Structure 1
Amino acid sequence: MIIDLNVNKPEPIVVSGKQVELFNRATDIKLTIKVLEAGNHILITAFYSDGLLLLKKLQMHLKRKLPNKSFSEQRAYRSAYHKLSNLILIEIVDHKLTVKKSPSIGWLEKLYPEISDFLLSFPQVQGLNSAWQWYQNGILIPVLRNKLHPYYGTYFPTRFDHLILFDNWLKRYEGAKKSAIDVGIGSGVLSFQMIKHGFQKVFGTDTNPNAIVGLSEFMANTKLSRKIELNFGHLFGNLEKQTELIVFNPPWLPISHDQDRNDEAIYYNENLFPDFFEGAKKRLLPEGKLVVIFSNLAQITHVAKNHPIEKELAEGGRFQLEACLKKSVKVASEKTKREQHWRSSEEVELWVLTN
């Protein structure tokens, strides 16, 4: 297995020569937000909760300034919040946060063995803390027997409708189960499902080194390590073999010009689907099946006119449609802060294509 990869992690922040203001609970918050809006850094100095307080006040400030109703307005709000909140810093010394009553985050030592003292932004530290809790405690996934322990920086599902749809399809699958390819393996859920349903070998690819390193570590010397082979690379990596099943759970939203371009687990570019279908055609056995797990989210939120799978079927000339299974998505929790009126019409889709 490939484990000698440099994982993605937050880059330590260097502020030499730049103005850094100190913040604690007694500091004037309005003046602090003005400092952030001027592009200067703020350092949290007393308690971890001071950082949480400042982030909360920043959110309130931005919500007063920016509308936050439609899908595109939410994107604009998140972009502004991302920019300003990442100017809020926290210091790490000897792989520990220096502020009082802060969480213990194992990633600080695991991901940064070569450096013990550095600065990170407060949201980055929040992300590392959440990821450490998930990694340590594990996450229950309804379609899996065992907990998932996702590695830092690796996408894992927080909603399960599409996984249940895939699991139900696997129960009825009657084709050969010698091998399968899982394109964009992520935290490994689809591969684990296929192994559970009797596939002898799954070849998993991912362009994210964290997914490859994390799964290598998670499977270690277990039986899974003999059944799942990992390949680092875009789409099919260097896999040339033909297989009876190819599974792809791509991002469900097209990237926009102002989007954070490194979030490839959530947003797709215009070349992703054409490149995928071209590669899949070469690697699918004559009687094989291509399963693409998708959603109508881009259509119902009006961020895309074309459905990439429908477009391939209409124009690609490579595959035939065998089935398209759909499942309504559970309505979001009433506790959710965002306006999500479109959720009531959201459906996950499982497309089965053949040669």
Structure 2
Amino acid sequence: MSDIRWTDGNAEHTAEHTARWRSETGMPAPRRVVTADDRMNTSTAHRLACEGTALLWQGDYHQARQLLQAMGRRVDQKAPSGAAASSPTEAFHLQRRASGHRARVLGRLLVPLGADYSLDLRRAPDVQAACEEAYGPPGTTPSVVSLRELLGVVGAHQWRTKGVDIPALGARIHPHYGVFSPVRGEYVDLVAQAPLPRPAELGGPAFDLGTGTGVLAAVLARRGIRHVVATDNNPRAVACARANMSRLGLADQVEITTGGELFPPGRAALVVCNPPWLPAKPSSALEQGVYDPKGAMLHAFLAELAAHLMPGGEGWMIMSDLAEQLGLRAPGELTSAITAAGLRVADRLDIKPRHSRASDPTDPLHAARAAEVTSLWRLTAE
């Protein structure tokens, strides 16, 4: 973690300040920082942020939120329209560039945090519990974070407290900060409804690769699989999944492991994998649940699956075809990869997404999202 420095005061007296820089997105510490308060208008804030100057807020908290929203509208007005793109692929890349620019500009409105994560601004809420969940125990020095990230931290705390209702479980899953939330329930429904392979019905173990919140492992356990081994290399996900299994009373049935390998040792009657669906580079650690450079996790799963299946076992690969709809993966490329890995498609269960963006005509990627299908591929070894 690097430091951030700024100066405040007037012509007669100035003071130098230093604090730790926090950024879970990997955004580098700004080189130029000026103080700002309720007197700063949107035009000035937007111009300075676009020039690379960070604004350390010292005014009213709610005014800072309003300024952030106004800056967001200003950025959006100047963003290139995806409607002018010549192809879905170009629209995707335009949208990614616009999203990255928006994140950089809005990420330059900063707020100070005390060593105990207190937010010393007028009318500021208590964010200490949310920050401790995201950043760990308080330290001994103050820090500075972008207001946009802090709002994400607070939102994640609310999701963690409230939880996400999972009808297939008849219970809630509580996502932690930095762990992909199972708000798209259609893929969970596929795992809840697909027929179990015979070895799993007879008591064989199951693997859940890249478990995240542990939601799919929990569904498998509730379906009667006696031993589920769920893996993830993200420490936040491991802690999250373990907390959820304990809350659901499944800690004795679901084993959460971590390590550098995708598969745990041994063979399973059922291996479930819900890899990131888009073969593109994530711009931050928080996007790793969505973007997988060159489909690395997908291809590693396919390449190793046959060697980890018990006789008669199945691998369940949950994938959206959004990559094909956007032109990021060629038609037939996925089935060719399955065949090349010595696997056979026993069946495929499809479902249409129910999330709001699939029916939002203002979304730059609306055409692709409207056509998207999410599938559970039942794979067996040849």
2:15 maps to none
TM-fit CA distance, 1:120: 0.9
Paired letter, 1:219: M
2:290 maps to 266
Matched, 1:295 2:320: yes
TM-fit CA distance, 1:11: 8.2
Other structure's SS at 1:30 match: helix
Paired letter, 1:104: D
Matched, 1:210 2:210: no
TM-fit CA distance, 1:19: 3.3
Paired letter, 1:137: K
Answer whether contact 1:236 1:279 (CA < 8 A) is retained. no
2:251 maps to 225
Aligned-partner Cα distance in 1 for 2:167–2:374: 16
2:4 maps to none
1:236 maps to 262
Answer whether contact 1:245 1:288 (CA < 8 A) is retained. yes
Aligned-partner Cα distance in 2 for 1:209–1:27: 40
**Structure 2 unaligned residues grouped into runs of 5+:** 1-21, 83-90
2:338 maps to 313
Question: Which stretch shows the higher mean deviation, 328-337 or 45-54?
Answer: 328-337
TM-fit CA distance, 1:124: 1.2
Of 61, 71, 79, the match for 1:48: 61
Of 84, 97, 101, the match for 1:80: 101
Of 190, 199, 202, the match for 2:216: 190
Question: Which stretch shows the higher mean deviation, 208-217 or 242-251?
Answer: 208-217
2:353 maps to 329
Other structure's SS at 1:147 match: strand
Other structure's SS at 1:320 match: strand
Q: TM-score, normalised by structure 1?
A: 0.87
Question: Which stretch shows the higher mean deviation, 183-192 or 58-67?
Answer: 58-67
1:92 maps to 113
Answer whether contact 2:205 2:228 (CA < 8 A) is retained. yes
Answer whether contact 1:182 1:202 (CA < 8 A) is retained. yes
Bigger Rg, structure 1 or 2: 2
CA separation of 1:12 and 1:264: change in aligned 2, threshold 3 A = closer
Cα RMSD (Å): 2.6
CA separation of 1:167 and 1:13: change in aligned 2, threshold 3 A = closer
1:349 maps to 375
Of 40, 55, 58, the match for 1:27: 40
Paired letter, 1:95: Y
TM-fit CA distance, 1:337: 5.7
Other structure's SS at 1:254 match: coil
Other structure's SS at 1:304 match: coil
TM-fit CA distance, 1:43: 1.2
Aligned-partner Cα distance in 2 for 1:115–1:308: 49
**Structure 1 unaligned residues grouped into runs of 5+:** 1-7
TM-fit CA distance, 1:235: 5.1
1:115 maps to 139
Answer whether contact 1:103 1:129 (CA < 8 A) is retained. no
Matched, 1:103 2:111: no
TM-fit CA distance, 1:218: 3.5
- Output one character per residue of 1:255-306: Cα deviation in whole Å (capped at 9) or x when no partner: 14xx415322101122322322222222111211010000111111223225
TM-fit CA distance, 1:351: 0.2
Of 151, 165, 180, the match for 1:140: 165
- Output one character per residue of 1:191-247: Cα deviation in whole Å (capped at 9) or x when no partner: 11001100001101112110002222343487411111111134535x211110000
Answer whether contact 1:205 1:234 (CA < 8 A) is retained. no
1:5 maps to none
Answer whether contact 2:233 2:260 (CA < 8 A) is retained. yes
Answer whether contact 1:12 1:120 (CA < 8 A) is retained. no
Matched, 1:152 2:177: yes
Other structure's SS at 1:155 match: coil
Answer whether contact 2:197 2:269 (CA < 8 A) is retained. no
TM-fit CA distance, 1:173: 5.1
Other structure's SS at 1:351 match: strand
Paired letter, 2:291: Y
Answer whether contact 1:161 1:329 (CA < 8 A) is retained. yes
Aligned-partner Cα distance in 2 for 1:326–1:335: 21
CA separation of 1:13 and 1:65: change in aligned 2, threshold 3 A = closer
Paired letter, 2:161: Q
Matched, 1:247 2:297: no
Aligned-partner Cα distance in 1 for 2:69–2:38: 13
Q: TM-score, normalised by structure 2?
A: 0.82
Paired letter, 1:324: R
- Count residues with an aligned counterpart: 342
Aligned-partner Cα distance in 2 for 1:98–1:311: 57
Aligned-partner Cα distance in 2 for 1:160–1:222: 18
